[in-house]
Amino acid sequence: MILLDGKATAAAIRSELKDKVAAQEARGIRTPGLAVILVGEDPASQVYVRNKEKACENVGIRSLAYRLPADSTQDAVEGLIRELNARDDVDGILLQLPLPKGLDSQACLDLIAPDKDVDGFHPVNMGRLALGLPGFAPCTPAGVIELLRRHNVTTSGKRAVVIGRSNIVGKPMAMMLWGYGDFANATVTVCHSRTPELAKLCAEADILVAAIGRPHFVTADMVKDGAVVVDVGINRTDDGLVGDCDFAAIKDKVSAITPVPGGVGPMTIAMLLVNTVKACENHLGLAN
Ligand SMILES: Nc1nc2c(c(=O)[nH]1)N[C@@H](CN(C=O)c1ccc(C(=O)N[C@@H](CCC(=O)O)C(=O)O)cc1)CN2
Ligand SMILES: [Mg+2]
């Protein structure tokens, strides 16, 4: 069994980016800048945002922190986004989700300039992904693809099943698995809460991606012998942080599996950095 080690892979990506940014800086090219917006005090979001800022610092990306109170108005958040859209020293804008109740996330995301949308959540970037055009892909599914690629997991001609159809994971994950540049070419099924015989479908998957947000939802009977299992879930339970898969029960059946923590999570942050460096190169007209 191969452990798809996201923590180590993310560290390797950061190290590559650090070298790239340093080489550009040595040539007098300005460093990439990421604006990080956190509205409110959700504890998990605070951790993720801090980790993103630390990761930026680690690779030489300037992070600009914007902390807004939980009772911020829609106008206040939108006003900040407009301001950041107009700034030449800001290459990427990250709006940490979820937003506090009462704020319209999609309206905010729709305002982010697509060339600064390093989360890949803007309809233009989602559309570009669907059409196979260059743009920014959402960081979690992009991280899954990169993790598979760097572990030489082949997907072409394989049967992939994605459980979950969210805008930030399930939908873009399915698009990337069926065709993402020269990678992927899997045959993809997307399952959700109303899928009949979900367990049976999962058990036919060569590649199973779980993104449902229910602790230990995927049990051993739902996994084919030799399958590759990617666990996107991060569930806080009384037993600590667990994924959507029952790792202990599955690990001896699979050919490869991601751990939680240390699997997809760190890759999400690494891909945010990749997208930010790319946004900067695009803004400066550098080839990449
Ligand atoms: N604007 C965005 N909001 C959210 C995104 C996103 O990509 N963009 N994704 C998630 C949260 N997320 C990043 O923001 C994220 C979640 C988890 C991790 C991570 O490294 N997890 C660790 C465990 C850490 C812990 O919680 O104890 C791991 O899996 O090893 C990174 C990023 C929703 N919002
Ligand atoms: Mg993980």
164 annotated as a binding-site residue: yes
Helix (H) or strand (E) holding 149: helix 139-150
Q: Residue 7 CA: which ligand 1 atom is closest?
A: 30
Widest CA span in the chain: 58
Q: Is residue 77 assigned to a domain? A: yes
pLDDT of 288 over the 80 cut: no
Alpha-carbon span 84 to 101, nearest angstrom: 23
In a domain, 44, yes or no: yes
Residue 82: CATH number of its domain: 3.40.50.10860
Question: Which amino acid appears at position 117 of this protein?
Answer: D
Closest CA to 270 of 118, 82, 98: 118
How many folded domains does the chain comprise? Answer: 2
SS3 282: helix
Q: 245 with 152, same domain? A: yes
Residue 221 has pLDDT above 90, yes or no: yes
Select from 110, 234, 247 the residue to mutate for testing ligand 1; criterion: most ligand atoms less than 8 Å from CB. 234
- 88-124 per-position pLDDT tens digit: 999 999 999 999 999 999 999 999 999 999 999 999 9
Tens digit of each residue's pLDDT (9 = 90 or more) over 126-154:
999 999 999 999 999 999 999 999 999 99
Q: Which domain holds residue 157?
A: 139-264
Tell me, yes or no, whether 260 lies in a domain: yes
Looking at the fold, whether 175 and 255 belong to one and the same domain comes out as yes
Of 115, 148, 163, which closes a domain? 115
72 a known binding residue?
A: no
**Ligand 1 pocket: which of 4, 48, 106 to mutate (most atoms <8 Å of CB)?**
48
- Axis-axis angle for helices 6-26, 139-150 (nearest 10): 100
Residue 197 has pLDDT above 90, yes or no: yes
